[in-house]
Amino acid sequence: MQDLLELNKAVVRRFNYEVLQDGNLDSFAEIMHPEFINRTAPPTADNGAQGMINTVKNVLHQAFPGLKVDILEQIAEGDLVSSRKTITGKHTGNLLGIPPTGLDIKIDVMDMVRLKDGQYLEHWGLNTIPLIIAQLKDAAERMAAEK
């Protein structure tokens, strides 16, 4: 059982570093189960694999090219892996209509993943992205007012 727990944790690390950090689409395709569901996707968003990769590529990577992921802790039990991590980067691209501010950001994340056959089946997550969006929006408005 311990071997399976370590393998599951390795899959989650791989997703975070190869997909979330590096944007590797081949790794994404290998890691995502065909029945994947993001249980904490916004109500109007696609809660499947396409919604997940859209967030990674068209939101996070567009706004914070070169972002870095740091997994601080991982706990595994059964088919679940929980991680506490940070995502850091510089706001040099558009973020949901917010123009680049050049500010450094740090997103705190706690998530849980259910795996099946070494792939992501379900995801739940809490993060500080709403706080970051509010801070960047305020900064962009101040910068525009100063011009």
Tens digit of each residue's pLDDT (9 = 90 or more) over 15-43: 999 999 999 999 999 999 999 999 999 99
| Count of domains forming the chain | 1
- Domain coverage including residue 108: 2-146
Q: Answer yes or no: is pLDDT of 140 > 80.
A: yes
Q: Supply the CATH number for residue 69's domain.
A: 3.10.450.50
d(C-alpha 5, C-alpha 79), whole Å: 8
Dump pLDDT digits (tens) for 82-105: 999 999 999 999 999 999 999 999
Q: For residue 2, what pLDDT band results from cuts at 50, 70 and 90? A: confident
Asked if 114 and 76 touch (Cβ cutoff 8 Å), the reply is no
Residue-level pLDDT at 147: 80
d(C-alpha 87, C-alpha 55), whole Å: 14
Instruction: Say if pTM beats, i.e. exceeds, 0.85.
Output: yes
Asked if 129 and 109 touch (Cβ cutoff 8 Å), the reply is no
Instruction: Tell me which amino acid residue 82 is.
Output: S
| 77 CB-contact burial (10 Å; exposed 0-12 / middle 13-18 / buried 19+) | exposed
Stretch among 19-23, 42-46, 62-66 having the lowest mean pLDDT: 42-46
Detail the DSSP E strand segments found in the chain.
Answer: 32-38, 68-77, 80-90, 104-116, 119-127
